[in-house]
Amino acid sequence: MTISRLSPRIAVVGVSTLIGEALIDELRARKMPFSELHALDDERHIGARPADDEAKLKVGDVAAFDFSRVDLVFFCGRAALAERYASVAAEHAWVVDGSAAFRARAGVPLVAADVNPSALDLIGARGLIALPGSASVALATVLKPLHVLAGLMRVDVATYQAVSGSGRGAMDELAAETVAMLSGKQAKGRAFGRQIAFNVIPQVDALEADGMTREERRLSDETRRVLDLPALAVNATAVRVPVFFGHSMAIHAVFERAIDAAGATAVLQRGNGLTVIDPDSSAEFPTPATLAMAPDRVYVGRIRADLTRDRGLNIWVVADNVRKCAAHNAVSVAQILVNRSQ
């Protein structure tokens, strides 16, 4: 493989997913140069065209694609596709995998571009890079500057996750249930096993034997790994809420050294990928319906002391799970790799 320093050849696998479509948009918005762009998916989507794609890409069959033809491959969303094809692609190209397939795999860097870009130093001219889940990206982006300032000891976090985290079908179900219930009909509750419209569900992904969900375990493990804090205590509760886009979270953090709201605000204002909402502004605090749709920032508000314990802070966070935490992170990782090769 010979990487063009100015315009790599790119393939996007899973282009029909929400993240795949957002990634194509992100490449266009960031004006990332490339000499070729291949849209790939499984056999169900061959011949289709990504939604709202100005380049009018036609979706090809990933099973028939020769990955030696490209320099950079994005896998978007579907773990089954990554499990089957990502390792093969990584023999020829940089592979940036946004699924959960390789996040816990030893030897595969887990990278949030705003948090631990140095993890990419392990990658040479080709290889596999895993991206954390969207909630993990948002959480680690906020915690990193606070840890540098005061040393994290413990994090309790409750996440309120948008239905887009479960894909397009879950979004369609929320819309259909909302219409049905406003029309006096009953919700069918297929995507989550129960009604999601006008409801909250304290379970994201499957329950494990110890009572944690897979999402809560991923959030804990991925946050520790991205922050390089293997002993950090992370206590997570993941909740699905009737919101289309934008994960929210309430963070309660305890630190080794003294920290107050003013100091935390100042360091977060300088943090990578972060915007702090001034409580005296018209916005007051971030919400999914307002600021979360801005694609390239994690929004922070309601920064205040925890009055029940020393060296504790409470923080509210909102971020677009599809665009900022998935597509934007993937393209940022790729740009680091491409720029490094120049």
Both 158 and 262 in one domain: the answer is: yes
Q: Is 2's pLDDT higher than 60? A: no
Instruction: Give the integer Cα–Cα distance in Å for 56 and 290.
Output: 31
Whether 187 is in a domain gets the answer yes
Whether 34 is in a domain gets the answer yes
Cα Rg of the chain (Å, integer): 20
Both 85 and 224 in one domain: the answer is: no
Both 71 and 216 in one domain: the answer is: no
Locus of tokens 């000891």: 153
pTM value is: 0.94
Both 172 and 316 in one domain: the answer is: yes
Both 173 and 258 in one domain: the answer is: yes
28, amino acid identity: R
Torsion of CA 129, 135, 137, 141, to 10 degrees: -170
Both 257 and 334 in one domain: the answer is: no
Q: What pLDDT sits at residue 4?
A: 56
pLDDT digits (tens, 9 = 90+) for 63-119: 999 999 999 999 997 899 999 999 999 999 999 999 999 999 999 999 999 999 999
Three-class DSSP category at 165 = helix
Residue 67: both structure tokens together: 């990955």
Q: Is 52's pLDDT higher than 60? A: no
- Mean pLDDT over 135-152 rounds to 98
Both 170 and 257 in one domain: the answer is: yes
CB 201 within 8 A of CB 238: no
Q: Which range marks the domain in which residue 335 is found?
A: 9-132+326-340
Whether 296 is in a domain gets the answer yes
pLDDT digits (tens, 9 = 90+) for 190-243: 889 899 999 999 999 999 999 999 999 999 999 999 999 999 999 999 999 999
Whether 81 is in a domain gets the answer yes
Both 182 and 276 in one domain: the answer is: yes
Whether 1 is in a domain gets the answer no
Looking at residue 313, which CATH number applies to its domain? 3.30.360.10
Whether 3 is in a domain gets the answer no
DSSP letters, 138-161, are HHHHHHHHHHHHH-EEEEEEEEEE
Both 246 and 172 in one domain: the answer is: yes
Q: What pLDDT sits at residue 1?
A: 45
Both 104 and 253 in one domain: the answer is: no
**Residue 179 — very low, low, confident or very high, per pLDDT cuts 50/70/90?**
very high
Whether 214 is in a domain gets the answer yes
- Mean pLDDT over 142-157 rounds to 98
Contacts of 162 (CB under 8 A, 6+ apart): 241, 243, 244, 245, 246, 247, 288, 321
Both 200 and 271 in one domain: the answer is: yes
Whether 185 is in a domain gets the answer yes
Both 150 and 45 in one domain: the answer is: no
Buried b (16+ CB within 10 A) or exposed e, 155-187: bbbebbbbbbbbeeebbebbebbeeeeeeeeeb
pLDDT digits (tens, 9 = 90+) for 23-32: 999 999 888 8
Looking at residue 40, which CATH number applies to its domain? 3.40.50.720
The count of structural domains within the chain is 2
